[in-house]
Amino acid sequence: MAAAVVVARGAGARAATAATLRGGCGTAARGRPCVGPARPLCAAPGTAPDMKRYLWERYREAKRSTEELVPSIMSNLLNPDAIFSNNEMSLSDIEIYGFDYDYTLVFYSKHLHTLIFNAARDLLINEHRYPAEIRKYEYDPNFAIRGLHYDVQRAVLMKIDAFHYIQLGTVYRGLSVVPDEEVIEMYEGSHVPLEQMSDFYGKSSHGNTMKQFMDIFSLPEMTLLAIEADIEKYICYAEQTRAVLAKLADHGKKMFLITNSPSSFVDKGMSYIVGKDWRDLFDVVIVQAEKPNFFNDKRRPFRKMNEKGVLLWDKIHKLQKGQIYKQGNLYEFLKLTGWRGSRVLYFGDHIYSDLADLTLKHGWRTGAIIPELRSELKIMNTEQYIQTMTWLQTLTGLLEQMQVHRDAESQLVLQEWKKERKEMREMTKSFFNAQFGSLFRTDQNPTYFLRRLSRFADIYMASLSCLLNYDVSHTFYPRRTPLQHELPAWSERPPTFRTPLLQEAQAK
């Protein structure tokens, strides 16, 4: 998302930067004549140019242009409750809606993450003989972000971009950052070869050394969660979940639930956030599905569970509304329901185990639930962020344009600019997370996470409640952001369609 937004907003910044850089002093954008960049302003005929003065004048002019641009960007803030599109899709074509459970229909509080952390820590001490001293470590919800890679052999956690390059400064061993020099020595540079990356589902296997943490939390044993008495403490009540399901039901849409969580866990949570009659809203409910195996293994049959949670062993000939089924596989699911192709839209939070196989192998449309999106967009709507990013892009363009000047005086100025750029990049990272930055972007590239999100999700949003802002026949159009070899001039004009802006949403 950050990549899309920065590109969309950055088009205007690039246009202003280009207007500034096309002229020797940047005045061409205001209609006054100027000389080209090859000849400094203050170079009189027959005299040596004062390169230092010339470059700093260009710098100040670019700064002024940036400051003039910021107010127009501030008037077009993005709506954190919008749905964003990677692929054109019309909801009028969708007849069947499917959902994951955890972090799709239900969200959890930080107290649950603390509970999981403490349970895992105690397990290491009591069962695996880890030193009792690790009990002093408490869960820090602000340390890491989703989508990071963990090198199992070297015991380091890091952020990797879409091109398999490690973002230096984001490599941690324990809670300590690993110096860039050590990282470069370990990996003979900052690139991680394909054969060392995780497998298709983000796991470390078949000799791969990397594991990617794609889901918001992983529970090795659901029995750790005896939370019935404290459900208000662990589940974030979301009344809009019922509103979304009721809206779809009112429009005659079929709905199903496929989750890896057990029946009792799902029933307790859904009864709390939706109501005791939650099963009446779903045509099919499948628990302990063991995704992603559910989408690939044709051998596992469905088994029906009775009201007491006892597993029945009768052969399943039909998936009945109001019943709960365990395990099974997608091929049998398709055979029993006939729900195939692009009329099915499935929502989940795990890019690999929820969405990848569905879009690549089965032709379903997919929607990714990315809770972090809302908080990141709110940060990106702040004036400080907009000012910093706009100037950072302008300064980068200035560096690219002025690097043709190779004399010693010019190079000293350019080194100062590079230092400022490096400091600003570190600042933009800390806006989101002090250790790892944005979920969606490294310094300048999309993250590995965003690359997979763009490939496997037709649309993505912060929560299902975003659907309430759209008609059931709404068509989502992806932004046509300029490619590296395309001119950004078209984006200076008001677009025919765009994702909802905050100002527009508030007007409604």
CATH of the domain at 291: 3.40.50.1000
Output the tens digit of pLDDT for each of the chain's 508 residues. 444 444 345 444 444 444 444 444 433 333 333 334 444 544 444 444 688 999 999 999 999 999 998 998 888 888 999 999 999 999 999 999 999 998 899 888 888 778 878 888 888 888 888 898 888 888 888 888 888 888 888 889 999 988 899 999 999 998 899 999 999 999 999 998 887 776 655 665 555 677 777 665 543 333 344 475 577 778 876 678 999 999 999 999 999 999 988 888 889 889 988 989 999 999 999 999 988 888 888 888 999 988 877 888 888 899 999 899 998 999 999 999 989 889 999 999 887 777 777 877 888 999 999 999 999 999 999 999 999 999 999 999 999 999 999 999 999 999 999 999 999 999 999 999 999 999 999 988 899 889 888 888 999 999 999 999 999 999 999 988 878 788 765 444 444 334 455 665 565 5
The verdict on 95 and 188 lying in the same domain is no
Domain boundary among 312, 333, 367: 367
3-state SS, residue 428: helix
The verdict on 410 and 468 lying in the same domain is yes
The verdict on 156 and 261 lying in the same domain is no
Neighbouring C-beta atoms of residue 163, cutoff 10 Å: 12
Three-state SS across 166-211?
Answer: ECCCCCEECCEECCHHHHHHHHCCCECCHHHCCCCCCCCCCCCCEE
Tell me whether residue 26 is in a domain: no
For residue 377, the model assigns a pLDDT of 94
CA distance 189 to 205: 23
Domain boundary among 314, 345, 367: 367
> Is 407 a known active-site residue?
no
pLDDT in tens, 172-203: 998 899 999 999 999 999 998 887 776 655 66
Q: Is the dihedral of CA 64, 65, 69, 70 positive or negative?
A: negative
Give the side-chain half-sphere CA count within 13 A for 307: 0
The verdict on 432 and 401 lying in the same domain is yes
The verdict on 247 and 344 lying in the same domain is yes
Tell me whether residue 129 is in a domain: no
Tell me whether residue 283 is in a domain: yes
The verdict on 241 and 351 lying in the same domain is yes
Domain that holds residue 197: 148-213
The amino acid that residue 341 corresponds to is G
Among 50, 81, 93, 100, the one annotated catalytic = 100
Tell me whether residue 13 is in a domain: no
For residue 185, the model assigns a pLDDT of 92
The verdict on 100 and 238 lying in the same domain is yes
Tell me whether residue 501 is in a domain: no
> Is 357 a known active-site residue?
no
Q: Is 140 annotated as a binding residue?
A: no
The verdict on 187 and 291 lying in the same domain is no
Tell me whether residue 324 is in a domain: yes
CA distance 327 to 338: 18
The verdict on 395 and 426 lying in the same domain is yes
For residue 174, the model assigns a pLDDT of 85
Tell me whether residue 496 is in a domain: no
Domain count, the chain: 3
Q: Is 199 annotated as a binding residue?
A: no
3-state SS, residue 152: coil
For residue 251, the model assigns a pLDDT of 96
The verdict on 259 and 402 lying in the same domain is no
- Total-model pTM: 0.81
For residue 507, the model assigns a pLDDT of 58
For residue 490, the model assigns a pLDDT of 44
Q: Given 3-state DSSP classes, what are the helix, strand and coil percentages for the chain, each rounded to the nearest 5?
A: 45, 15, 40
For residue 102, the model assigns a pLDDT of 87
pLDDT in tens, 372-382: 999 999 999 99
Tell me whether residue 53 is in a domain: no
Among 102, 215, 267, 443, the one annotated catalytic = 102
CA dihedral 416, 418, 419, 423 (to 10 degrees): 140
3-state SS, residue 344: strand
Q: Is 349 annotated as a binding residue?
A: yes
Domain boundary among 321, 336, 367: 367
The verdict on 239 and 357 lying in the same domain is yes
The verdict on 194 and 264 lying in the same domain is no
